[in-house]
Structure 1
Amino acid sequence: MSLFDSEKIASHIIDWLNNYIKDLPIDGFIVGVSGGVDSALVASLCARTNKKVILLNMPIRQSESEFIRSKEQIEALERNFDNVQGMTIDLTNTFESFEHIMPENVKENQLAMANSRARLRMTTLYGVGQSNKLLITGTGNKIEDFGIGFFTKYGDGGVDLNPIGDLLKSEVFLLAKHLGVIQKIIDAKPTDGLWGDDRNDEDQIGANYDELEFIMNFKGSKDDLTVRQKEVYDIYQRLNTINQHKMVPIPVCNLEGLK
């Protein structure tokens, strides 16, 4: 990790963002800012493109601490970058209307309803983004997007491009500190904010990101691992397997030779 050059990486990502849209009929980027470090980092990178940027705070029965972190991060970037516009769209009533019309077995399925929150946010991002000629910019890191599939399909996984998808979580923190992400966000435990309570990512996954990074990069024999490392290895392999449907292209039935 000592070889990680934050300034070089940041400059490369900012150039990549600008180059991606240079020949497109697009004015900039829109980011859903959740109060977590990943979205705060992406917001900070997009702000430095000098293109139009909307940072959207979309609370749904959100904890006050998450909402305040999002709000303060957006306001900090608005103060420092003239191209940044903050916006809040409270989706609580919209979500509750959706919840109200769902069959009881759907309402009672906590995971289905949590994922519905993420998909409602995605719909909102695309509505605002398209209206302003902006691309929806993803905030998933390498562990989440390509390791364990810890994201909602067509929710926070529904994006146009992802500037941090090749960064490990530890690298996300290094770059976030370098770019001045607010300390409240740096200090907060990572959470997806989909449950309306104080559970964090580690509670849901059963392992922290440092442990997962070690296993993701581990090339040796499982027999050489400690008891805890073996537990995390099993967690990683299980999630990687069951979430492959999120991480590979949509399967298409091949009719070659039949028509």
Structure 2
Amino acid sequence: MHTDNGFKAEAINNYIVNWLRDYATNAKVKGFVVGISGGIDSALTSTLCAQTGLPTLCLEMPIHQAHSHVQRAKEHIAQLKANYSNVSEIETDLTPVFETFRKQVPESENEHLNNLTLANTRARLRMTTLYYFAGINNALVAGTGNKVEDFGVGFYTKYGDGGVDISPIADLMKSEVRALAKNIGVPQNIIEAKPTDGLFGDDRTDEDQLGASYEELEWAMLEVEKGAQADSFTGRKKEVFNIYIRLNTINQHKMRPIPVCEIPENLK
């Protein structure tokens, strides 16, 4: 199937599935573990993993999770299990773990920093849980980040949802994720749901946090790749372009390898 813009959904679908299968085989692991949020990225990633025929564990890890997110996640997993016999599911309620952690650490006087750090803590608790289940199942943790999140604006938690073994959809723009999800049969309510990281215990969306939609940020990312400058644009386009540049700049520490202080040979 080709989408209207020439995106070769079927061919790309098959390519990713073969890539996943080959990688797992070469790594001598049995399958995959995927955290399911109720969003389109995790729905697509888990479906691609399931299509390999290898054991795919869908893990729900609620921490004060919104009911709508939980329901979408459950609907998706139920559909996957109905279509693929190699899919299993586990729900691990991390709310008590999170609350215990929160009681053991001091609160910052800066409410914004406190809330942001606790949100990142949620993501890191989930990463720890994913790796526990990957360890006992001899499996790989499959990341769910797309290209705009991972290499554009760095919209993920370092050592949280950024802590993965493989990233099957990280070379796909958000529009391509939607096209592939539609082609692969992801439930329509998940495709249409407003993207959210669900880390703050409220209904704020990714767009609320970023200041721009993924469609806008995708446009800005492509313009930067063409060599465009902010003064090429006016109005909302200029605003979005500057948002992209700011986020891309401050989040470079997530995208680059960890800096290593290399000691000169004459000092050793």
Q: Taking structure 2 as the reference length, what is the TM-score of the superposition?
A: 0.94
Provide, for residues 205-224 of structure 1, a one-character-per-residue CA deviation record: whole Å limited to 9, x for no partner: 00001111111011234333
Residue 106 of structure 1 and its aligned partner are, at CA, apart by 7.8
Quote the residue 1:57 is aligned against.
Answer: 60
Quote the residue 1:111 is aligned against.
Answer: 116
Q: How many residues align?
A: 259
Quote the residue 2:35 is aligned against.
Answer: 32
Instruction: Describe the SS at the equivalent of 1:68.
Output: helix
Answer yes or no: is 1:76 the counterpart of 2:84. Answer: no
Answer yes or no: is 1:8 the counterpart of 2:11. Answer: yes
Residue 102 of structure 1 and its aligned partner are, at CA, apart by 1.1
| Equivalent-residue separation in structure 1 for 2:120 and 2:58 (angstroms) | 21
Unaligned runs of 5+ residues in structure 2 are none
Amino acid at match of 2:201: G
| Equivalent-residue separation in structure 2 for 1:87 and 1:252 (angstroms) | 38
Contact conserved, 2:127 with 2:160, CA < 8 A, in 1? Answer: yes
Residue 245 of structure 1 and its aligned partner are, at CA, apart by 0.5
Match of 1:216 among 212, 221, 245: 221
| Equivalent-residue separation in structure 1 for 2:252 and 2:28 (angstroms) | 33
Quote the residue 2:212 is aligned against.
Answer: 207
Answer yes or no: is 1:141 the counterpart of 2:146. Answer: yes
Q: Taking structure 1 as the reference length, what is the TM-score of the superposition?
A: 0.97
Quote the residue 2:240 is aligned against.
Answer: 232
Answer yes or no: is 1:98 the counterpart of 2:106. Answer: no
Residue 107 of structure 1 and its aligned partner are, at CA, apart by 9.5
| Equivalent-residue separation in structure 2 for 1:221 and 1:124 (angstroms) | 42
| Equivalent-residue separation in structure 1 for 2:264 and 2:29 (angstroms) | 37
Amino acid at match of 2:81: E
Q: Quick one: structure 1 residues 184 and 206, their matched pair in 2 at CA, closer, same or farther if it must change by over 3 Å?
A: same
Residue 44 of structure 1 and its aligned partner are, at CA, apart by 0.6
- Moved segments of 4+, more than 4 Å: none
Give me the CA root mean square deviation: 1.2
Unaligned runs of 5+ residues in structure 1 are none
Residue 105 of structure 1 and its aligned partner are, at CA, apart by 1.6
Amino acid at match of 1:101: Q
Instruction: Describe the SS at the equivalent of 1:85.
Output: strand
